[in-house]
Amino acid sequence: MSFGRLGAISSTRKVIEPVTKYLFIDGACLTTTIAEIEKRYVPRNTLHVDYDLLTGGYDKVFYYDALPSRRGNESEEQFGVRRDAAIAFHDQLGSLDRFHVYEGDTRKSPSLRKQEQKKVDVMIAVDMLTHSFRRNMQQATLLTGDLDFKPLLDALVQEGMFVTLWYPPNKTNKQLVSAADQRRQLDVRAIHPALRAKSKALFSLPSGSGEPSRGDIGQILHAFSSEDGDIRLFSCPDRAYVLATANPNPGYFTYWTHSDLTTLKNFAFDVFGLEFPGS
């Protein structure tokens, strides 16, 4: 007597393959962005970034930068210090898992490091297109604010690659931003969580919460009207400053609170592009 297959279950489940993500970094853009954050939030201090943490979620990270050239009024000794610091920084990045660092034309000949390097943008374009054509990756992210990369993004999108642009706001051309499939701001909200402990302790970011409108919660310092809704900057009785920005939910605002007015204004500019009179 046959009882068949007891408890047999027909399964239609599909195995979900992980998505391979590569990150390509325009080194000059990243270092300039970090330097500007230092200048605004912690003048006369140096911020130390955990680059492994900053780039978490990517299977491979490709970092491109040219070694510095000598400035006209710079002594040989001063130039050597700057150049050695850049080399040490690149070596440090290159020692991290997942990271690959390219210095202009020197990736085939490290001995050429003492010469001026060029063609970083060409290297980025060739590498991104090559990895795309070979289907080594399913998603590509380019960290840059340089409009010269728009034709590259156009070509990658046409090739069928899903492309994210990680860009510094307030200084990146809208044409470049619109060329990508997805956009991500490279602002203080992206950098601060990746700072090393001592650097992170130098300053804090405003805390934000979405809430039903609370009306005028203090003295109005500045007021704006935008396509998304009204924006207000308040000085509150509890020695806090609050920036109320538009929220996708009708009748709601997002309230950003900080004890330091300058920090809150810097944050408003970095993240939302808001400039306050007299700032």
Output 11 or 28, whichever has higher pLDDT.
28
pLDDT bracket for residue 75 (50, 70, 90): confident
Q: What is the pLDDT of residue 12?
A: 65
Q: What is the pLDDT of residues 228-254, one digit of tens each?
A: 788 999 999 888 999 999 888 988 999
* 161-216 residue pLDDT tens: 999 999 999 999 999 999 999 999 999 999 999 999 999 999 999 999 999 999 99
CA distance 262 to 252: 25
Nearest to 274, CA basis, from 209, 240, 226: 226
Predicted pLDDT of residue 116: 41
- Please report the pLDDT score of residue 22 as a whole number: 98
Domain covering 21-199, topology: Rossmann fold (3.40.50)
Sequence spans of domains, the chain: 21-199, 204-272
- The type of residue at 101 is V
Residue in 144, 140, 119 with CA at minimum distance from that of residue 30: 144
- How confident is the model at residue 225, as a pLDDT? 85
Q: Which residue has the higher pLDDT, 108 or 270?
A: 270
Q: pLDDT tens digits for 147-160?
A: 999 999 999 999 99
> Using CA atoms, how far apart are residues 140 and 63, in angstroms rounded to an integer?
14
Tens digits of residue pLDDT in 108-127: 344 544 444 458 999 999 99
pLDDT of 9 > 80? The answer is no
3-state secondary structure of 109: coil
Rg over alpha carbons for the chain, rounded to the nearest Å, is 24
